[in-house]
Structure 1
Amino acid sequence: MNSRAFLEALHGRVQALHTTVSTDFAPLEAALLNVKPSPTSWSILECLEHLNRYARYYLPQLAKALAQPAGPAPTDFSHSWLGRKSIEAVRPENQKKQKTLARMNPNQSQLSPATIAEFLAHQQQLLALLAQAKTTDLSRKAIPVEFFRLLKLSIGDALEFVVAHQERHVLQAERVRQQLHLELRV
């Protein structure tokens, strides 16, 4: 696929996530943001905190990789096998539950609306990284996988992994919000 088109599509997806969180979650009261549909599920803020924990790892890794000099950026990019598998596992369409690492699981965390502000700040960072990525080789393997750092994702794979993972959990948070609205109407 064309690298520029790939990055522009990711940019649009990140902007959509930013808009959803800004308009659907930010106006809610802290009490609603912390409501859990069931004891084992996550609240809206827990969904976003989970994403913040991943962003705290992946965004600095991406920034570091993009800061390193590289040759001219190829016009095309294709996912590696590891990248395709990683992205497929976190796509919102994949209904299979994924096991969350303990350090990435925000269940029972004490969270405030500052979690939303941090998420939105991460989105701004990600948009800047996507702009910066236009001048690099997206196929360069440079991003250690968070849970097994000996494995490395390419820059393009890591960018799409982060975005798809965010879409999955923002959609999860949206389902929580919709359930809250239904319960409040009853």
Structure 2
Amino acid sequence: MNVTTFLETLHGRVQHLHTTVSTDFAPLEAALLNFKPSPESWSMLECLEHLNRYSRYYNERLAQALAQPASRPSRAVSHSWLGKKSIATVRPENRKKQRTLARMNPNRSQLGKAVVEEFLQHQRQLLALLTSAKKADLNQKAIPVEFFRLLKLTIGDALEFVVAHQERHVQQAARVRQQLRLELSV
């Protein structure tokens, strides 16, 4: 895929996530954001906190990789086998439940509205990273996989993985919000 198209598409997707969380979740009170349809499921805040934990890792690694001068910027993005597999696993269309690492699982956490603001800040950082990615070699293997750091994703794979993962869990939070609306209307 052409780099410009790839980055513009990701930018639009991240902007949509930022807008969705700003309009649908940020105005809600913390008690509503902590609503859980069942004890095992995540609240809206837990979905966003899970993403914050990943963003704390991946945004920093992406910033480091993008700060390195590229021998020449990519013209096209090609996905590695590991990248394709990682992205497919977290796509929102993939309804198969995935187990998360204990340190990334916010279930039963005491969370407040600061989680929403942190998420929005991470989105602003990601938008800036996508802008700086225009000058990078997106096919360079540079981003260690969070749970197994010996494996590395290309910069392009990592960018798409992060965005797809965020879309998955923001959609999950939206389903919890819809369940809350149903509960409140009864």
Q: TM-score range by the shorter chain?
A: over 0.9
Aligned length: 186
Map 1:151-162 onto structure 2 (within 5 A). 151-162=151-162
User: Counterparts of 1:17 and 1:132 in 2: how far apart (Å)?
Assistant: 19
RMSD: 0.4
Runs of 4 or more off by more than 3 Å in structure 1? Answer: none
Q: Percent identity at matched positions? A: 76
Q: Counterpart in 1 of 2:80?
A: 80
User: Counterparts of 2:114 and 2:76 in 1: how far apart (Å)?
Assistant: 39
* Structure 1 residue ranges without an equivalent (≥5): none
User: Counterparts of 2:74 and 2:150 in 1: how far apart (Å)?
Assistant: 26
User: Counterparts of 2:76 and 2:33 in 1: how far apart (Å)?
Assistant: 41
Map 1:17-166 onto structure 2 (within 5 A). 17-166=17-166
SS at match of 1:143: strand
Deviation at 1:37, TM superposition (A): 0.5
Using the size of structure 1 for normalisation, the TM-score is 0.99
User: Counterparts of 1:74 and 1:103 in 2: how far apart (Å)?
Assistant: 35
Q: Counterpart amino acid of 1:75?
A: R
Q: Counterpart in 1 of 2:170?
A: 170
String of CA shifts for 1:90-129, please: whole Å, max 9, x gaps.
0000000001000000001110000000000000000000
User: Counterparts of 1:79 and 1:164 in 2: how far apart (Å)?
Assistant: 14
Deviation at 1:79, TM superposition (A): 0.6
User: Counterparts of 2:23 and 2:70 in 1: how far apart (Å)?
Assistant: 38
Q: Is the deviation greater in 4-13 or in 72-81?
A: 72-81
Q: Counterpart amino acid of 1:44?
A: M
User: Counterparts of 1:55 and 1:23 in 2: how far apart (Å)?
Assistant: 21
Using the size of structure 2 for normalisation, the TM-score is 0.99
Q: Counterpart amino acid of 2:131?
A: A
Deviation at 1:75, TM superposition (A): 1.0
Q: Counterpart amino acid of 1:66?
A: L
